[in-house]
Amino acid sequence: MILLVTPSERARECAAALQAATGEDVTIAESLVRATALLRAECYLAVVLDQHLLEIEPDEAGTTIEHLGTAIPVQVNLGISGMERLVREVRAAIHRRQRDEVRARQVAIGRLHNELNGTITALLLSTELALETRGLASAAAEKLELVHDLVKKLRQQLESAGTVEEVKQAAGV
């Protein structure tokens, strides 16, 4: 969902153009106070802010910006911007956000993969060393074998989940 914040007479026209271009529902707020209230109640993908409002109400603009959450702020001058430019700016902002999210996911997956790999290696080594202990009770040996097999299975699952490079390819990056 996109929040369009403008007192402009062209608000409905802008909202329709944004909805057609992005496929997202568009909500209109005529003021920054209304926008802040909406931001408190809903999560938005993007918030399109009319530059005119930001300039004439700087204190309220700060409050609105504090409540953006994860929404992408897109500042435009609707007095001089055409529909094409508005749509282009919002699409570009959404596209940048999507690329950033894919990269962040890739980094998180890579870190998790590395951390798990290290832990799995340590578990395998520890269980193998414990299994080599002389005089180990057969019940304890059976349990260690079970743990060893589970850790090997976990390693196989991690490897089949793919490498970071495969994740990048699947994500189209």
pLDDT tens per residue across span 79-105: 888 899 999 999 999 999 999 999 999
Would you identify the CATH topology of the domain 2-81?
Answer: Rossmann fold (3.40.50)
Assess whether pLDDT exceeds 60 at residue 39.
Answer: yes
Q: For residues 15 and 28, is the Cβ–Cβ distance under 8 A?
A: yes
Q: What is the pLDDT of residue 79?
A: 82
Q: Mention every residue, 6+ apart, whose C-beta is less than 8 A from residue 19.
A: 2, 25, 26
The percentage of the chain sitting over the pLDDT mark of 70, rounded to a whole number, equals: 93
Q: What type of residue sits at position 16?
A: A
The percentage of the chain sitting over the pLDDT mark of 90, rounded to a whole number, equals: 75
Domain ranges of the chain: 2-81, 101-171
Q: Are strands 2-5 and 26-29 parallel, antiparallel or unpaired?
A: parallel
Q: What is the pLDDT of residue 114?
A: 87
Identify the CA nearest to 64 among candidates 22, 18, 29, 96.
Answer: 29
Mean predicted lDDT score pLDDT of the chain: 90
